[in-house]
Chain A
Amino acid sequence: MVVSPSVPPISAAGLPDLTGALGSFPISIELSSLVLVVLTVLVGIFIGAVSVVLIYHWRRFPFEHDIFRTAERVYLSGVALMLVGVVIGILAA
């Protein structure tokens, strides 16, 4: 079977006219709540894994207990704050 390649039309400048092939611009981006929820779940899995690893290290390191205890509080407070932003955004979207 022979497949003949489709040749795009040639523009006035002598270059292939790819306007139709690339679609129309501007590309309009829309986000549904479902997409946001899926993204949140994926990021949540990532953050959960990282949190376990970080807290595991902070609690086992013997030389800097005080600073790592503070780090744990600051880290978890930041995570909670940003999760509030995510939840508010999803509920309002």
Chain B
Amino acid sequence: MYIPMEEGESIVAKVHRHWLFIVLRIAVLVLLFIAPSIIVLILESAGLVSIEGVSGAARLALWSLWALVLWAMFWQFWTTYYMDIWIVTNKRVIDIDYERLFDRNIAMIRLDRVQDITTRVQGVVGTLLRFGSVVVQSAGSDKEFVIDQIANPEALRDAISKVAGEAGTLRVVKME
């Protein structure tokens, strides 16, 4: 994937999703990591299963294999999280949207077409952890450009409005 920069174009900000969304996925992996031990422990204490026939070395091999699978899953999650990025340049906003690896959607909006920028912080968790959305409305289009689940949306709104301010009549609306 390659997004060519225009002449005189420079990156102003790069924004990822809030860290909470990768932490939730890591928590699932941690649960999966300890789940087999807990299940075997429960089944053994209930007298349903006996693993005395499995040697310590075999357990080490099994544990390493399971850890290897989860390790690969972690890096897949992290890569999807890290590649799902919004890039603000001095000429446009680029949204590289990664749902999964090999499943991406790239959208762009030119700053001289930006009319409104709205920030939205919803819910108790969003307010406490300071994450929310930035909605960019372009001129001559009903489509909204939504930058969702990002940390500190006000800072991004300010960055976009700063570089877009000279392009036209930019109106900034803040909603919380």
Contacts and interface: CB of A to CB of B under 8 A. Distances in A.
Interface string A52-73: 0110011011111001100100
Contacts, number: 120
Contact of A93 (B57, B71, B79): B57
B129 interface: no
Contacts of B79: 54, 57-58, 71
B141 interface: no
Contacts of B69: 43, 46-47
A28 interface: yes
Interface in A24-65: 25-31, 36, 39-40, 43, 46-47, 50-51, 53-54, 57-58, 60-64
Interface residues of A, number: 40
B68 A29 contact: no
Given A26-B44, A28-B50, A75-B75, A89 B68 contact: no
Interface residues of B, number: 40
Most B C-beta atoms less than 10 A away, residue of A36, A53, A58, A82 = A82
B28 interface: no
B54 A29 contact: yes
15 contacts: A27-B50, A30-B53, A36-B61, A36-B62, A40-B61, A54-B76, A57-B79, A61-B83, A62-B3, A79-B68, A82-B65, A89-B57, A89-B63, A90-B57, A92-B60
Nearest to B3: A62
A53 B75 CA distance: 11
Given A26-B50, A29-B54, 5 more contacts: A83-B68, A85-B63, A89-B60, A89-B62, A93-B55
